[in-house]
Structures are given as structure tokens and as C-alpha cells.
Amino acid sequence: MTVLSRTLALALLPLLAACGDSNARYLVDAPVPAQQQRVRVSTVEMREVTLPAYAAASEILVQQADGALRPVRNAIWAEDPTRGVTLALARNLDAAASATVMAEPWTLERRPDVQVDVRIERMVAQNDGQYRLAGQYAIASPDLVIRESVGRFDISQPLADTDPASVARATGAALMTLSQQIAGRLR
């Protein structure tokens, strides 16, 4: 390396560091369920969750008074939202139900007793002080261990305010409520 190229590399280093991501990153954590529900299956595969385009983005969005969804400044999700929601639901359902739950892909040789497919239609911190999570889920049982079913959900969770930490807490609480609803369906 020549002296000129070494000097140029050292001069560019602070510029490259300044271009780094300075956004705060927020995790979706869920409260621990009050009790575990006994369910009729022993294994559950959580399929990759389907999110609306705005919720699949890394920005944390909050609905404004005019109805527009705007990103919270300098705040993003710590995990890819689709992966994060899928893993959170699997973790929560595993805690809320007596079955062993794993996010897809299923890696065990024996197929799971059921597969849960969640399709979220609405996932937003609303301007009315509520966090809303709505959509539907399907419970498939390839070997007909239980009766297959489809259910709708529309969960509202109070928001303390619209800062990103409050949105993350409300998201985690809403996902836990959905996990408990699914566990109830598996009973």
C-alpha cells in the first residue's frame, strides 16, 4: 500500500463512520402469559407471518391526525418485521400453550401436528391512543390430529404515547394476546 493510498484510506475512515446508522433500534418483547393452556396437540409450526407492506418496513410508523402513517424519527425495528413477528408469535405460543412451537422451516423429521398461518391486515399505532392488530389465522392439521379452522382477530392495546418504546411494548402485548387466542383455539 502506497503512502498516498494509506493517507486517503485514513482520511475517508471518519466519513464512512459518519455514514453509519444512528437510528435507535427497538425489540418486540412480550409479557409472560399468566398461565399456560393445555392444548390437544404436541407440536406446532408457525408459518411465516404475512404483514401489510407498511408494517413489513423497518421504520416504526405512527398514524397521524390526518390518517397518514409517518415514521418515528431516528427509530427502527431491531429485527426484520416479518421475521420478528413470526418468531415472537412462535415464542409466545410456545409459552402460552403446552405444545412445542417452532417457527418455519420445520426441521424435525416427524411433521408437526398443526401449522398456524397468520395473515395480518392491520398493524398500526393509531392516532386514537390504541395499537391495533387485526387479520386472520388458519390452523391446518395435515394428519387431521385436530379439526382445521380459520379465525379472525381484532386486538386493541392501549398506547401510553406514540414514542417508539411505547409502540414496541404495545406490539408485544398485542402479539401475546393473539398467541393466547390461538392457544385457546387449540384446546
Enumerate domains of the chain plus CATH numbers.
3-185 (3.40.50.10610)
Q: What is the pLDDT of residue 31?
A: 82
Cα 75 off chain centre by: 16
Instruction: Collect all residues with Cβ–Cβ distance below 8 Å to 121 and sequence separation of at least 6.
Output: 52, 134, 135, 136
Q: What is the pLDDT of residue 20?
A: 54
Q: What is the pLDDT along the chain (187 residues), one digit of tens a residue?
A: 555 455 445 454 444 444 456 899 999 987 888 889 999 999 999 999 999 999 999 999 999 999 999 999 999 999 999 999 999 999 999 999 999 999 999 999 999 999 999 999 999 999 999 999 999 999 999 999 999 999 999 999 999 999 999 999 999 999 999 999 999 999 9
Peptide bond into 71 cis (omega under 30): no
